[in-house]
Amino acid sequence: MPAVEQHPSAVIIGAGHAGVQAAESLRESGWAGRIVLIGEERHAPYQRPPLSKDYLAPGQAAEPLPLRAASFFEQHRIELRVDAEVASIDRRSRSVQLSDGEQVPFSKLVIATGASNRMLDVPGSTLSGIVGLKTLDDAVHLRGILEPSRNIVVVGAGFIGLEFASAARAMGKNVTVLEFSARPMSRALSPAMGDFFARQHLDNGVGLRLGEGIASFSGDEDGNVVTAVSTSGARYPADLVVVGVGVAPNISLAQAAGLEVENGIVVDHALRTLDPDIYAVGDCASFPNPSGAGRIRLESVQNATDQAKHAAHQIVGATEARYEPVPWFWSIQGGLRLQIAGLSAPGNNCVLRGEPGSGRFSVFCFDGETLVAVESVNKPADHVAARKILDQGTNPTPEQCGDTGYDLKSLAKALALAE
Ligand code: FAD
């Protein structure tokens, strides 16, 4: 019997939200063998969401929020390797090879490699002062150059771009956001919610330019960016450009190892790849859509955490269930806390609950008569109720959801009691 069988070893590639949770859940659900958690970043695992929010505010601590206390890994007998990149997966010998040549054997492997920022490919896009925001190192660099910058251009009105734009406006910077689509966050939000956020950012003094993409940048003789030129031909002064045009899943290791990839590492309902000993979780995983046809890939802390728990439970044989929790997400932009439960789609019938003018309301999205998603602004109670209602598959009508007199909280409570 090979050595790895006698000393079962779980290896996790990627020490982000999903990787750390997978390690913890494996240990807590009874995995007795080695757990090796390998992360290429040189920092102890940290929380990513604050990087585009509080972390940028003046006077914030330089240290990021840790994902777990320093003592956690030793206490849980998790061998954490930071600053260690996995260069390849050898499925035949059941081992991963690090870029320094070390081989680490596995009996079970979890790939949690996340996603990388897409960068721009327009003239001038390699000029100094054009940056992305994904890692702690990115955020530290950005903090350093944000302070002295006056004119900032953000390319892409997605969540991260707009969170950053809000933080920069709070520091009194001139901020222009270029967005090719007709609405901000248009891939994820209903038109009503997108329009609300567009108005809020404009009112906050952000130069939100919808229907305008980036065409090119020009720089000074030192190679620093000076101007952003949009697809309309307009020129915007820029001493800092933040690019937020989405991410691509980190699939190259899986692909080179002969695993199936398709906008992510392809996994089944158990989050297993075509190799029964290899799982993929978090931003890098493409999984069967629990509420529809085809596959989806989600980029959120909830998805990373829940998938990691699920894969760990599968590995130790603690569950045969399919992965199908209700997805949820949050974003903080200025004083607005957006929370989303479920997944909306273009063409959904959307019903307002509450007045957008009050700054506290929700949008209920229906596919036909079926509630599929709820977007809430500064209405945490609606969000909590929505998660419960979507989880139970109960279906209040559009009229009930739009009626603020209709008691959603009690409906959610009754569902909880019925569980
Ligand atoms: P990650 O957390 O990205 O971790 C993957 C890790 O794997 C990385 O550290 C990477 O370096 C490492 N890795 C990759 N390849 C290798 C290799 N070959 N060897 C070793 N290590 C490797 N989500 C929300 O729900 N709400 C928010 O408000 C929110 N805000 C965000 C703000 C920012 C600035 C960013 C960047 C993301 C935000 N997200 C938010 C998204 C959320 O952080 C991600 O969905 C989540 O981190 C995904 O977890 P993950 O473990 O799959 O990937």
Which domain-ending residue is among 266, 281, 315?
Answer: 315
The residue type of 234 is A
- 273 and 383: one domain? no
Q: Could you give the CA distance from residue 411 to residue 402 in angstroms, rounded to a whole number?
A: 14
Q: Indicate whether 59 and 131 sit together in one domain.
A: no
What phi, psi does 273 have (nearest 5°)? -80, -170
Does ligand 1 have an atom closer than 6 angstroms to the CB of 18? yes
Can you tell me the distance from the alpha carbon of 18 to that of 146, in angstroms, rounded to the nearest whole number? 30
For the Cβ of 48 lying below 6 angstroms from any atom of ligand 1, the answer is: yes
Q: Are strands 34-38 and 79-81 parallel, antiparallel or unpaired?
A: parallel
Residue 324 lies in a domain: no
Residue 165 inside a domain? The answer is yes
Q: Is residue 398 part of a domain?
A: yes
Residues 172 and 258 in one domain: no
Structure tokens at 233: 């031909």
CB-based contact 381:369 (threshold 8 Å)? no
Q: Which of 245, 261, 290 is the last residue of a domain?
A: 245
The verdict on residue 329 lying in a domain is no
Cα(115) to centroid of ligand 1, in Å?
Answer: 7
Q: Rounded distance, CA 188 to CA 181, Å?
A: 12
User: CB of 40 within 8 A of CB of 83?
Assistant: yes
> Residue 410 and residue 229: Cα distance in Å, rounded?
52
Establish if 326 belongs to a structural domain: no
Greatest extent of the chain over all pairs of C-alpha atoms, in Å? 69
Q: Which atom in ligand 1 lies closest to the alpha carbon of residue 14?
A: 7
Residue 329 Cβ < 6 Å to ligand 1 = yes
Q: Where does a domain end: 245, 266, 284?
A: 245
Q: Tell me, yes or no, whether 54 lies in a domain.
A: yes
Q: Does residue 189 belong to any structural domain of this protein?
A: yes
- 356, 405: one domain: yes
Residues 6+ apart with CB under 8 A from 371: 342, 364, 365, 389, 390, 395, 396, 401
How many structural domains are present in the chain?
3
Give backbone dihedrals phi and psi of 178, rounded to 5 degrees, phi first: -100, 125
Which atom of ligand 1 is closest in space to residue 50's alpha carbon?
Answer: 32
The residue whose C-alpha atom lies closest to atom 46 belonging to ligand 1 is: 301
Question: What is the 3-class SS of the chain, one letter each residue?
Answer: CCHHHHCCEEEEECCCHHHHHHHHHHHHCCCCCEEEEECCCCCCCECCHHHHCHHHCCCCCCCCCECCCCCHHHHCCCEEECCCCEEEEECCCCEEEECCCCEEECCEEEECCCEEECCCCCCCCCCECEECCCCHHHHHHHHHHHCCCCEEEEECCCHHHHHHHHHHHHCCCEEEEEECCCCCCCCCCCHHHHHHHHHHHHHCCCEEEECCCEEEEEECCCCEEEEEEECCCCEEECCEEEECCCEEECCHHHHHCCCCECCCEECCCCCECCCCCEEECHHHEEEECCCCCCEECCCCHHHHHHHHHHHHHHHCCCCCCCCCCCCEEEEEECCEEEEEEECCCCCCEEEEECCHHHCCEEEEEEECCEEEEEEEECCHHHHHHHHHHHHHCCCCCHHHHHCCCCCHHHHHHHHHHHC
Report the alpha-carbon distance of residue 162 to residue 182 in Å, rounded: 15
Residue 188 to residue 208: CA distance in whole angstroms = 18
User: 68 and 150 in one domain?
Assistant: no
Q: What atom of ligand 1 comes closest to residue 253's alpha carbon?
A: 18
The closest residue, in CA terms, to atom 44 on ligand 1 is 300
| CATH number of the domain bearing residue 196 | 3.50.50.60
* 34-38 and 9-13 beta bridge pairing: parallel
Q: Which residue segment(s) compose the domain that 126 sits in? A: 119-245
Distance (Å, whole) CA 46 – CA 268? 29
Q: Which residue type occupies 151? A: N
Lookup: tokens for 377 = 């602004």
In terms of Cβ atoms closer than 10 Å to its own Cβ (0-12, 13-18, 19+), residue 352 is middle
Per-residue pLDDT in tens (0 to 9) along the chain, 419 residues: 344 445 699 999 999 999 999 999 999 999 999 999 999 999 999 999 999 999 998 888 889 999 999 999 999 999 999 999 999 999 999 999 999 999 999 999 999 999 999 999 999 999 999 999 999 999 999 999 999 999 999 999 999 999 999 999 999 999 999 999 999 999 999 999 999 999 999 999 999 999 999 999 999 999 999 999 999 999 999 999 999 999 999 999 999 999 999 999 999 999 999 999 999 999 999 999 988 789 999 999 999 999 999 999 999 997 778 999 999 999 999 999 999 999 999 999 999 999 999 999 999 999 999 999 999 999 999 999 999 999 988 889 999 999 999 888 887 777 666 66
Based on the fold, state whether residues 150 and 183 are members of the same structural domain: yes
Q: Is 306 a pocket residue for ligand 1 (Cβ < 6 Å)?
A: no
- 112/130 same-domain check: no
Co-location of 181 and 238 in the same domain: yes
Same domain, 128 and 200: yes
Q: Are residues 65 and 87 in the same domain?
A: yes
Assess whether the C-beta atom of 114 lies below 6 angstroms from ligand 1.
Answer: yes
Q: Is the CB of 194 under 6 A from ligand 1?
A: no
* Residue bearing tokens 């990627």: 14
Q: Are residues 124 and 241 in the same domain?
A: yes
- What is the distance between the alpha carbons of residues 385 and 413, in angstroms, rounded to a whole number? 8
31 Cα: distance to centroid of ligand 1 (angstroms): 25
Partnered with residue 210 across adjacent β-strands are 179
The enclosing domain of 388 has a CATH number of 3.30.390.30
**pLDDT confidence of residue 7:** 65
Q: Considering the domain boundaries, does residue 179 fall inside one?
A: yes
Contact assessment for residue 10 and residue 94, using Cβ atoms and an 8 Å cutoff: no
So what's the pLDDT on residue 79?
Answer: 98
Same domain membership, residue 182 and residue 143: yes
